[in-house]
Structure 1
Amino acid sequence: MASLPDVKSLNSLPVEQQAKVLDALFEPSPAIHACLLPSISTTSFQSYDEFINQAQKIFEALTADPTQKAQLHSIIGSHPRLGAKKVESAQSAAEQAQLQSGDATELTALNAEYEEKFPGLRYVVFVNGRGRPEIMENMRARISRGDLALEEIAAIQASCILELGSSRHSSNEIVGNV
């Protein structure tokens, strides 16, 4: 993963560099850019944790606004499918690597079932060392629960937990450019 610039300079960076920071923390996504770039430019942050917590609040506000569902689902849909071979961010690649053993066919079927149950969403979970069987059990439980609003919130929370870990790893080596 690319090193992140000092968060205190984030609001003064050119928009292109701010977008690269978002791509490094989250997934490359025009919807994420549209949602977060205005906040980056107008807010000073003291830490990446503070920035990601702010991003989570912005994303969660979308869950309460029916007119913003398309943008919310685009943000959640930018996350790679569980078990995907090709992923955009280093954080997702690390998460996916933990799940590469086991029955890929079953995971593909579960992804399809999840996306049929929750159109526009991707199953997002903080893997945190759990194996494929435990993750698939969680996926089945969430499909059975069938609650779109809870899925939207769970996906946003999991994404932000992932990004908190990602920012802590990346900001160990701070540089001027992303």
Structure 2
Amino acid sequence: MPAVPALPEIQNSPSNPHSPLATALELLFEHSPVLVDVLEPQLSIVLKASPSFVSYADLVDTALSEIAKWDVEAQAEFIAGHPRIGESKNLSTLSANEQGAHAVKPTPPEVLARLAHLNACYEIKYPGLRYITFVNGRSRATIAEEMEAMLGLARSLSKEDPIIESISPVEFGSHDWRSELERAIYDIGRIAKSRLGALGLS
């Protein structure tokens, strides 16, 4: 399991993309350029000015408060740091465990193919976003059903239905698009707090 820097080390280290704070953020939220270039220096300033910061749960909440102030393009870049549901390559240790990539009973290939198609459908419907959900021990097959429901699709194992070209995009920055962005960020917060437990920091 990855090592997490101690809280005093995070609070007292200088800001930079390789700082203990950056390391902790990448463990909890997954790597993305906006995380190390924008969030890490913002949080470094906040933490030095906030002696009441006492836990990693505080760190997650403070990070989410800072992210909420960003423009939607930066927020979308932040969530794109998380892997797509069903991906099995280049996953962090925590993402692999959360998605069941090393489960005793592997995910059937038809479910993985369906998830890949659903991810593509989602990314057409919500341009610039990536589907994020708090897996919380659920199977990939269950997540496929969740994605179908939110996209208004019938249950299927087809890797071609619906045809991608038939998907009507939601307007970038519209109310529905922003609602989905906010839901994704909320679930990233839930994932981060679940990771605290996995890392023995709850």
Could you state the TM-score of these two structures normalised by the residue count of structure 2? 0.74
Number of positions where the alignment pairs a residue of Structure 1 with one of Structure 2 = 167
Aligned sequence identity (%): 33
Which structure's relative contact order is higher, taking Cα pairs within 8 Å and 6+ residues apart? 1
* Secondary structure of 1:61 counterpart: coil
- Pick closer, same or farther for the CA change 1:126–1:94 going to 2, 3 Å: same
Q: Which has the higher helix share?
A: 1
Distance apart, 1:31 and its partner CA: 0.7
Structure 2 counterparts to residues 11-26 of structure 1, below 5 A: 11-14=11-14, 15=16, 16-17=18-19, 18-26=21-29
Which protein has the larger Cα radius of gyration, Structure 1 or Structure 2? 2
Distance 1:49 1:161 in 2: 11
1:159 aligns with 2:167: no
1:138 aligns to 2:146 (yes or no): yes
Letter paired with 1:22 = L
Length-normalised TM-score, structure 1: 0.83
Q: How does 1:106-145 map to 2 (within 5 A)?
A: 106-144=114-152
> Is 1:29 aligned with 2:32?
yes
Q: Deviations over 1:83-126 (max 9, x none)?
A: 11123422211122268513211111001000111111111111
- Offset of residue 163 of structure 1: 1.0
**Structure 1 unpaired stretches of 5+:** 63-67, 173-178
Q: Which runs of 4+ in 1 moved over 3 A?
A: none
CA RMSD, 1 decimal: 2.2
Shift of 1:57: 1.6
Aligned to 1:150: 179
The answer to whether the 8 Å contact 1:31/1:74 transfers is: yes
Which whole-Å CA distance do the structure 1 matches of 2:183 and 2:90 have between them? 21
The residue aligned with 2:59 is 51
